């Protein structure tokens, strides 16, 4: 008796085990590029729902396997002629619809096959219904289409014509569309071209499944970007909607799945709740907990290396910190902060107190508390300054961590408590520092920051050019973030131009102009979004030991808060003497505003004068002074006597003309930074040819005609030696001429210019 019971129990266990093993075999089946899972099935009916059988077979058009839906179709006006056809399934959406390729489903009307194809009868299998997103579409010149559906008597019709344009979005010319009713399972339609010489057809399709490329022809031939007409069919499981199905014994959604009413006429669909993976059906794979901790993207816990721990919970996860750390372990929260430094301080205080006594304990405690307060303040600053977002952005940049986060302590040590001041401006003070690894740095301490700080910092960290001062990193723990730059040792161009003991030769000035222009052009053009310098001036161009210029403070002026009351609007966005007057007028900062400021720098290099002057007691800008000199033909008077030599004069005059082009009042008339670079290279190349000059504003026919005419008259009218000699004499031009087609262009431009 006992034995029998036990035996039965064992057999029962085996059966249950077997059933479980059989059920476990239901994995999504792959057919071509599509994955087929419950309720759809290919081979095993146990792994799907009745009537959701799809056929996996070779697609004759592509030669690849694909799932097909069996449909009954007739090319006739009578149901008796229905035969089985297979339509390729293009998309399975488990929220309740599929899309099939219905390109071949056309009721054609042409003279030669009028009777054979004029009708289509289309009948869907069991659980599928036409979605009302489909349209009945008639294509052709003067074609009438009609349809009948479900148990409806009578026809709906639309007439296409090439004589006028129709309004609907997808049907513009030679076509018409009307809606079809929702959720019917058969439809019969017809297309009839009125002119027997012309063909036409009617069809049903979901316009959103393809994109019309060309209004006129793509609908005719179905060559939208997906190259097929899609027909959208709704489906659902069973006959009941969710509220009805829930109360029945064969409710099909598994635990941790939600039931959604199907878009179809009847039935429902099941979908896993957020945090769970699977298809959500009892007889499918059900829903299993997704392990967020194994996918770094799906959890917000700080990494193990920073002391974070991720706990996978049913349907979610939680973060915490390892022993010795405190915080909530979330990236967006208080993260994990090592406690060890605090323990160390406590230990030191403890041992001190045993030696020195209670007063020292009090002292120590006070110190500890203030350290704590400092640390809290740092953490608070870090969060308020957006340090967390910045860290996330840096982390998301992956391997190339171009930007380093410094701690306040680190920078205090590096700068010996900010003892050596390098410079001071309205916006920030710069200090000298040496990092632990021996790198010399300049630490910029701003007086305030703007809201866009983080974005700008990320962009600036991506600029890498030998003539741009590199941003190495920043520190977010101070009230206003500190910026750490590469240190450039040899002072600014302004200092070199105006000190008596430092002298810049003409060659050095020319090189500074070229490389500075290259840096500005690079940043104008390279970055993913244009960055303007906004404060180009000779004191922002630093020089290293070899007099290589490095442009400092790129884009940084934009980081200044716009509502700083202490600075006038004009000052907040540039330096007097350099500010583009058009920008002052329109408040629109463009790349040409940088070009203007650069023009002022060119004038400084040419004249050695300060950007703001006092002439006969009246204040004026250097550029006004320069422009009036050049207009009065007094240019030689204001060129820097320290560098004017006979062999330089031609180049200096050419550079003066370029500066004049940069300083034009109309921003549009100024050359772009790239053109300025080209021009400077030409000026340098023309060493042996004083007066040889290719004028940008003339070549480009830019700006107002009057200006162009003036530039034209400023050009030399004769050239002494041939262009051939000129090319041979100049290395940089030889380099250009090796580039082929562009040479021809340049030659044409040159000869054009000088032929006049």
* Contact (Cβ atoms closer than 8 angstroms) between residue 657 and residue 711: yes
Choose one: 325-333, 339-347, 419-427, 735-743; the region binding ligand NAG (CB under 6 A).
325-333
Residue in 160, 240, 252, 654 binding ligand NAG, rule: CB under 6 A: 252
Prior bond of 39 cis (ω within 30°): yes
Nearer to ligand NAG, 46 or 214 (CB): 46
**Contact positions with ligand NAG (CB under 6 A) in 640-659:** none
Residue 122 binds ligand NAG, judged by CB under 6 A: no
Cβ neighbors of 513 (< 8 A, separation 6 or more) are 601, 602, 605, 655, 680
SS3 559: helix
Residue in 75, 104, 649, 708 binding ligand NAG, rule: CB under 6 A: 104
Residue in 28, 333, 423, 425 binding ligand NAG, rule: CB under 6 A: 333
Choose one: 96-104, 211-219, 403-411, 730-738; the region binding ligand NAG (CB under 6 A).
96-104
CB of 29 to ligand NAG, least distance (A): 17
Chain centroid to CA 710: 44
End-to-end CA distance of the chain: 121
SS3 658: helix
Choose one: 98-106, 373-381, 553-561, 700-708; the region binding ligand NAG (CB under 6 A).
98-106
What does the alpha-carbon distance between residue 316 and residue 304 come to, in Å, rounded to a whole number? 19
* Residue corresponding to tokens 């022993």: 323
CB of 300 to ligand NAG, least distance (A): 5
- CA distance readout (Å), 5 to 2, 10, 12, 80, 248: 5, 9, 10, 59, 33
Residue in 202, 209, 240, 283 binding ligand NAG, rule: CB under 6 A: 283
CB of 80 to ligand NAG, least distance (A): 25
DSSP string for residues in 591-603: HHHHHHHHHHHHH
CB of 297 to ligand NAG, least distance (A): 13
Choose one: 329-337, 386-394, 638-646, 688-696; the region binding ligand NAG (CB under 6 A).
329-337
Residue 103 binds ligand NAG, judged by CB under 6 A: yes
Residue in 55, 179, 298, 332 binding ligand NAG, rule: CB under 6 A: 332
**Contact positions with ligand NAG (CB under 6 A) in 507-546:** none
* Contact (Cβ atoms closer than 8 angstroms) between residue 594 and residue 534: yes
Nearer to ligand NAG, 66 or 441 (CB): 66
Cβ neighbors of 248 (< 8 A, separation 6 or more) are 240
Residue 88 binds ligand NAG, judged by CB under 6 A: yes
DSSP-H helix ranges across 179-336: 218-221, 242-245
CB of 62 to ligand NAG, least distance (A): 6
Residue 320 binds ligand NAG, judged by CB under 6 A: yes
Choose one: 138-146, 313-321, 338-346, 513-521; the region binding ligand NAG (CB under 6 A).
313-321
**Contact positions with ligand NAG (CB under 6 A) in 32-61:** 46, 49, 61
**SS3 labels along 250-293:** CCCECCCEEEEECCCCCCEEEEECCCEEECCECCCCCEEECCHH
DSSP single-letter state for residue 717: S
What does the alpha-carbon distance between residue 298 and residue 316 come to, in Å, rounded to a whole number? 10
CB of 49 to ligand NAG, least distance (A): 6
What does the CA dihedral 644, 647, 653, 654 come to, rounded to 10 degrees? -140
Nearer to ligand NAG, 312 or 511 (CB): 312
Nearer to ligand NAG, 227 or 719 (CB): 227
Dig out the tokens for 14 from the structure: 């085996």
Nearer to ligand NAG, 268 or 592 (CB): 268
Choose one: 253-261, 327-335, 400-408, 436-444; the region binding ligand NAG (CB under 6 A).
327-335
Residue 318 binds ligand NAG, judged by CB under 6 A: yes
* Contact (Cβ atoms closer than 8 angstroms) between residue 475 and residue 406: yes
Identify the burial level of 116 via C-beta atoms within 10 angstroms of its C-beta, where 0-12 means exposed, 13-18 middle and 19 or more buried: exposed
DSSP-H helix ranges across 427-505: 453-462, 493-498
Query: Is residue 580 flagged as an active site residue?
Result: no
What does the CA dihedral 314, 317, 319, 320 come to, rounded to 10 degrees? 0
Residue 101 binds ligand NAG, judged by CB under 6 A: yes
What does the alpha-carbon distance between residue 277 and residue 296 come to, in Å, rounded to a whole number? 16
Residue in 330, 406, 578, 693 binding ligand NAG, rule: CB under 6 A: 330
Residue 380 binds ligand NAG, judged by CB under 6 A: no
Which position among 206, 437, 451, 535 bears the catalytic label?
535
Report residue 78: phi and psi, to 5°. -130, 145
CB of 374 to ligand NAG, least distance (A): 23
Residue in 42, 198, 212, 227 binding ligand NAG, rule: CB under 6 A: 227
**Pairing outcome for strands 471-475 and 404-405:** parallel
Binding residues with ligand NAG: total (CB under 6 A) = 19
Choose one: 70-78, 326-334, 364-372, 512-520; the region binding ligand NAG (CB under 6 A).
326-334
For 504, half-sphere exposure in the C-beta direction (CA atoms, 13 angstrom radius) is: 29
Residue 298 binds ligand NAG, judged by CB under 6 A: no
Q: Bridge partners of 67?
A: 56
- Catalytic residue numbers read 535
Interacting residues toward ligand NAG by CB under 6 A: 46, 49, 61, 88, 101, 103-104, 227-228, 250, 252, 283, 300, 313, 318, 320, 330, 332-333
């Amino acid at each position: 008796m006992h034995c029998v019971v036990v035996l039965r129990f064992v057999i029962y266990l085996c059966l249950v085990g077997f059933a479980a093993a059989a059920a476990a075999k239901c994995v999504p089946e792959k057919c071509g590029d599509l994955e087929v899972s419950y309720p759809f099935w290919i081979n095993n009916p146990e792994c799907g729902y009745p009537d959701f059988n799809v056929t996996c077979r070779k697609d004759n058009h592509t030669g690849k396997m694909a799932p097909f839906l069996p449909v009954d179709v007739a090319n006739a006006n009578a149901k008796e002629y229905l035969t089985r056809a297979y339509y390729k399934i293009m998309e399975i959406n488990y929220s309740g619809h599929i899309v099939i390729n219905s390109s071949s489903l056309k009721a054609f009307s042409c003279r030669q096959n009028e009777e054979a194809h004029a009708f289509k009868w289309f009948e869907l299998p069991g659980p599928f219904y036409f979605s009302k997103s489909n349209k009945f579409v008639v294509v052709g010149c003067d074609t009438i289409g009609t349809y009948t559906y479900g148990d409806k008597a009578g026809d709906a019709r639309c007439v296409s014509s090439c004589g006028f344009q129709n309004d609907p979005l997808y049907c513009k010319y030679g076509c018409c569309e009307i809606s079809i009713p929702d959720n019917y399972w058969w439809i019969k339609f017809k297309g009839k071209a009125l002119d027997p010489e012309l063909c036409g057809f009617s069809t049903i399709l979901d316009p959103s499944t393809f994109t019309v490329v060309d209004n006129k022809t793509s609908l005719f031939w179905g060559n939208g970007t997906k190259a097929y007409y899609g027909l959208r069919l709704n489906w659902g499981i069973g006959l009941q909607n969710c509220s009805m199905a829930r109360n029945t014994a064969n409710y099909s959604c598994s635990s941790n799945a939600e039931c959604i009413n199907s878009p179809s006429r009847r039935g429902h669909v099941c979908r896993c709740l957020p945090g769970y993976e699977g298809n959500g059906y009892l007889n499918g794979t059900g829903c299993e907990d997704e392990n967020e901790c194994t996918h770094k993207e799906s959890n917000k816990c700080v990494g193990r290396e920073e002391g974070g721990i991720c706990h996978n919970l049913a349907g979610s996860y939680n973060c915490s910190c390892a022993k010795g750390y405190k915080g909530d372990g979330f990236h967006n929260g208080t993260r994990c902060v090592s406690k060890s430094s605090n323990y160390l301080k406590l230990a030191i205080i403890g041992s001190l107190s045993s030696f020195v006594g209670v007063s020292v304990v009090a002292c120590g405690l006070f110190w500890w508390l203030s350290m704590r307060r400092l640390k809290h303040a740092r953490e608070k600053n870090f969060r308020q300054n957006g340090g967390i977002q910045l860290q996330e952005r840096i982390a998301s940049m992956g391997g190339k961590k171009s930007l380093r986060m410094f701690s306040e302590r680190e920078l205090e040590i590096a700068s010996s408590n900010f003892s050596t001041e390098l410079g001071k401006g309205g916006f920030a003070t710069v200090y000298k520092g040496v990092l632990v690894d021996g790198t010399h740095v300049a630490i910029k301490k701003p007086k305030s920051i703007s809201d866009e700080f983080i974005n700008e910092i990320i962009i600036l960290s991506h600029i890498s050019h030998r003539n741009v001062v590199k941003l190495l990193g920043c520190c977010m723990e101070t009230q206003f973030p500190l910026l750490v730059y590469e240190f450039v040792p040899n002072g600014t161009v302004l200092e070199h131009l105006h000190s008596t003991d430092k002298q810049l030769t003409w060659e050095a000035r020319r090189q500074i102009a070229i490389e500075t222009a290259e840096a500005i052009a690079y940043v104008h053009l390279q970055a993913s979004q244009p960055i303007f310098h906004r404060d180009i001036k000779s004191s922002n161009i630093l020089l290293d030991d070899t007099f290589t210029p490095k442009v400092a403070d790129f884009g940084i002026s934009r980081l200044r808060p716009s509502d700083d009351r202490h600075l006038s609007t004009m000052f907040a966005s540039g330096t007097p003497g350099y500010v583009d007057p058009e920008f002052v007028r329109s408040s629109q900062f463009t790349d040409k505003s940088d070009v203007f400021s650069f023009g002022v720098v060119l004038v400084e290099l040419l004249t050695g004068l300060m950007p703001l002057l006092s002439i006969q007691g009246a204040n004026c800008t250097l550029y006004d002074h320069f422009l009036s000199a050049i207009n009065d033909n007094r240019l030689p008077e204001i060129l820097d006597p320290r560098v004017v030599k006979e062999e330089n004069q031609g180049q200096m005059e050419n550079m003066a003309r370029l500066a004049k082009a940069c300083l034009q009042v109309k921003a549009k008339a100024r050359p772009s930074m790239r053109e300025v670079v080209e021009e400077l290279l030409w000026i340098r190349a023309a060493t042996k040819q004083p007066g040889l000059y290719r004028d940008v504003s003339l070549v480009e026919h830019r700006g107002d005609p009057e200006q162009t005419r003036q530039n034209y008259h400023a050009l030399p009218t004769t050239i002494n030696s041939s262009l051939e000699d000129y090319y041979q004499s100049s290395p940089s031009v030889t380099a250009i001429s090796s580039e082929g087609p562009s040479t021809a262009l340049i030659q044409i431009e040159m000869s054009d210019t000088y032929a006049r």
